[in-house]
């Protein structure tokens, strides 16, 4: 466990303990039930100096990302999201065949392909060798390396400084966050623009999305903390917008301090100061805001446990739906196990036949809901509530009821 802020090194203030948690995505096979299962404390903390929210446990990356094989292009929505920002940046920065766009954590080239299609030179950087090879084969040159200040200097020194640097959904994960931001500053041309997307901690707090806190997600960003981090590396926020993706995200446009600040891609230069003022009014940079969140999470847990205990005392049967990481977090945080939940239904054949980490509840095909007709079904994948309720109309028509746990447990 670390007590030093991953951004500025100050002593962290813990705000919420989610207990000992297994790795949220490490579903168990039947054979693994006989083996000890690694678990690690999961504690959310805030830095009272720079306001950066983070978890205090650094799980070794080789444990966390051993099965990492996410191909961004699989999702149509992601590709369209990427196309739109590429078009905007191409126009805003007047990119040509003499420009260079770099994406850090470029995955399979889902974003850079939209620049390449317009003849704009691109370079991807992604440490996953298999994914980098796929991207390169698709015509998106990709370095299979970790991004740090040394690599950034090598690129700049060899004439490959960037007009635009993208970093999407990566600054929540990187172990050396300060070094990562320093690398962006060093690889960016004096006139360049960095575009950084990351989940927004304010959305997490306001919607009580505590179950998106797990070991893979080291940092939970506010503009307050991020702008301080950028400033330490000579960058400033030139604009910011809020996005609906990933439960609510920030998209930050950052430039070198010396560059004249102007509106970028139709995002007003005044948007940064406006959001910083909002965050200051709400207290996003100080522990009190997160202590209040922690109290709401604890109250939610008590209410959910009371609801489930009530159902069990009436002799009712209960199942759950959705074997996603957030389900692991919720079940283990509130110690809801096989004594309460008979099974977890999930559509993924890869997950069926396995067990939820920690609580060890079996995962079964969704057809089991109709066969077994549990009286209630705890919806762990509450972020897809509308879609799942529509799919499971037969279960509901026969009298089954879903429990939507967040933000307040509710039987529907």
3-state secondary structure of 138: coil
Question: Considering beta carbons, is residue 54 or 352 the nearer one to Zn ion?
Answer: 54
Tell which positions 30-49 bind Zn ion, by CB under 5 A: 47, 49
Check residue 8 for interaction with Zn ion (CB under 5 A): yes
Beta carbon of residue 165, minimum distance to Zn ion (angstroms, whole number) = 23
Rounded CA-CA distance 76/72 in Å is: 9
Q: What is the dihedral of CA 178, 180, 186, 189, to 10 degrees?
A: -120
Rounded CA-CA distance 242/249 in Å is: 6
Question: Considering beta carbons, is residue 222 or 383 the nearer one to Zn ion?
Answer: 222
| Contact status, residue 319 vs residue 346, Cβ threshold 8 Å | no
Q: Which stretch binds Zn ion (CB under 5 A): 1-9, 78-86, 260-268, 330-338?
A: 1-9
3-state secondary structure of 116: helix
Beta carbon of residue 379, minimum distance to Zn ion (angstroms, whole number) = 36
Tell which positions 235-274 bind Zn ion, by CB under 5 A: none
Helices (H) and strands (E) in the chain, counts: 14, 17
Q: Closest Cα partner for 125 from 165, 85, 65?
A: 165
Beta carbon of residue 272, minimum distance to Zn ion (angstroms, whole number) = 20
Beta carbon of residue 321, minimum distance to Zn ion (angstroms, whole number) = 39
Rounded CA-CA distance 187/171 in Å is: 16
Beta carbon of residue 290, minimum distance to Zn ion (angstroms, whole number) = 14
DSSP 253-285: EEEETTSPP--BTTB-TTHHHHHHHHHHHHTTT
Q: Which stretch binds Zn ion (CB under 5 A): 7-15, 85-93, 256-264, 376-384?
A: 7-15
Burial class (CB in 10 A: 0-12, 13-18, 19+), 327: buried
Torsion over CA: 372, 377, 380, 386 (sign): positive
Burial class (CB in 10 A: 0-12, 13-18, 19+), 97: exposed
Beta carbon of residue 12, minimum distance to Zn ion (angstroms, whole number) = 8
Question: Considering beta carbons, is residue 272 or 285 the nearer one to Zn ion?
Answer: 285
Beta carbon of residue 267, minimum distance to Zn ion (angstroms, whole number) = 27
Q: Which stretch binds Zn ion (CB under 5 A): 3-11, 118-126, 317-325, 341-349?
A: 3-11
Burial class (CB in 10 A: 0-12, 13-18, 19+), 396: middle
Beta carbons within 10 angstroms of residue 107's beta carbon: 26
Check residue 111 for interaction with Zn ion (CB under 5 A): no
Question: Considering beta carbons, is residue 7 or 400 the nearer one to Zn ion?
Answer: 7
Beta carbon of residue 232, minimum distance to Zn ion (angstroms, whole number) = 10
3-state secondary structure of 313: helix
Question: Considering beta carbons, is residue 7 or 405 the nearer one to Zn ion?
Answer: 7
Q: Which of 46, 50, 188, 255 contacts Zn ion by CB under 5 A?
A: 50
Q: Which stretch binds Zn ion (CB under 5 A): 8-16, 130-138, 162-170, 335-343?
A: 8-16
Q: Which stretch binds Zn ion (CB under 5 A): 50-58, 150-158, 174-182, 209-217?
A: 50-58
Question: Considering beta carbons, is residue 53 or 120 the nearer one to Zn ion?
Answer: 53
Q: Count residues contacting Zn ion (CB under 5 A)?
A: 8
Beta carbon of residue 16, minimum distance to Zn ion (angstroms, whole number) = 17
Beta carbon of residue 212, minimum distance to Zn ion (angstroms, whole number) = 21
| Residue 180: partners with Cβ closer than 8 Å, 6 or more residues away | 104, 147, 148, 167, 170, 171, 174
Rounded CA-CA distance 370/400 in Å is: 9
Rounded CA-CA distance 103/111 in Å is: 8
Question: Considering beta carbons, is residue 21 or 222 the nearer one to Zn ion?
Answer: 222
Rounded CA-CA distance 93/213 in Å is: 36
Question: Considering beta carbons, is residue 157 or 175 the nearer one to Zn ion?
Answer: 175
Q: Which stretch binds Zn ion (CB under 5 A): 9-17, 315-323, 357-365, 381-389?
A: 9-17
| Contact status, residue 235 vs residue 180, Cβ threshold 8 Å | no
Question: Considering beta carbons, is residue 10 or 17 the nearer one to Zn ion?
Answer: 10
The contact pattern for Zn ion, residues 51-80, with x = CB under 5 A and - = no contact, is -x----------------------------
| Residue 327: partners with Cβ closer than 8 Å, 6 or more residues away | 211, 320, 344, 356, 380, 381
Beta carbon of residue 21, minimum distance to Zn ion (angstroms, whole number) = 24
Check residue 14 for interaction with Zn ion (CB under 5 A): no
Interaction site with Zn ion (CB under 5 A):
5, 7-8, 10, 47, 49-50, 52
């Amino acid at each position: 466990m670390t007590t030093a802020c991953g951004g500025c090194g100050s002593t962290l203030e813990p705000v919420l303990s989610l207990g000992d948690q297994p790795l949220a995505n490490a579903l168990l096979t039947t054979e693994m039930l006989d083996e000890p299962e690694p678990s690690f404390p999961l504690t959310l903390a805030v830095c009272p100096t720079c306001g950066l929210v983070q978890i205090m446990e650094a799980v070794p990356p080789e444990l966390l990302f051993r099965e990492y094989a996410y191909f961004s292009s699989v999702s149509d929505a992601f590709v369209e999201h990427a196309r739109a920002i590429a078009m905007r940046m191409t126009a805003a920065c007047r990119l040509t065949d003499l420009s260079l766009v770099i994406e850090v954590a470029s995955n399979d080239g889902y974003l850079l392909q939209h620049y390449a299609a317009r003849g704009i030179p691109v370079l991807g950087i992604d440490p996953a060798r298999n994914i980098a090879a796929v991207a390169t084969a698709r015509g998106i040159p990709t370095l299979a390396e970790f991004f740090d200040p040394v690599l950034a200097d090598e690129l700049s020194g060899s004439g490959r400084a960037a007009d635009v640097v993208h970093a999407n959904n990566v600054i929540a994960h990187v172990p050396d966050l300060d070094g990562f931001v320093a690398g962006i500053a060093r690889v960016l041309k004096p006139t360049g623009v960095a575009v950084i997307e990351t989940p927004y901690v304010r959305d997490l707090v306001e919607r009580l999305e505590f179950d998106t806190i797990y070991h893979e997600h080291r940092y939970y960003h506010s503009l307050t903390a991020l702008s301080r981090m950028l400033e330490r590396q000579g960058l400033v926020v030139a604009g910011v917008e809020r996005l609906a993706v990933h439960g609510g995200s920030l998209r930050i446009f950052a430039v070198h301090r010396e560059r004249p600040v102007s509106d970028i891609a139709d995002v007003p230069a005044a948007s940064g100061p406006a959001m910083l003022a909002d965050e200051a009014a709400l207290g996003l940079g100080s522990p009190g805001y997160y202590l209040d969140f922690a109290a709401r999470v604890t109250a939610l847990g008590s209410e959910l446990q009371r609801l489930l205990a009530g159902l069990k005392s009436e002799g009712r049967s209960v199942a759950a739906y959705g074997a996603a990481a957030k389900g692991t977090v919720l079940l283990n945080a509130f110690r809801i196990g096989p004594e309460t939940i008979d099974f977890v239904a999930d559509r993924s054949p890869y997950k069926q036949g396995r067990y939820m980490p920690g609580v060890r509840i079996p995962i079964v095909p969704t057809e089991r809901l109709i066969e077994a007709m549990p009286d209630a079904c705890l919806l762990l994948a509450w972020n897809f509530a509308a879609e799942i309720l529509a799919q499971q109309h037969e279960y509901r028509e026969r009298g089954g009821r879903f429990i939507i746990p967040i933000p307040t447990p509710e039987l529907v």
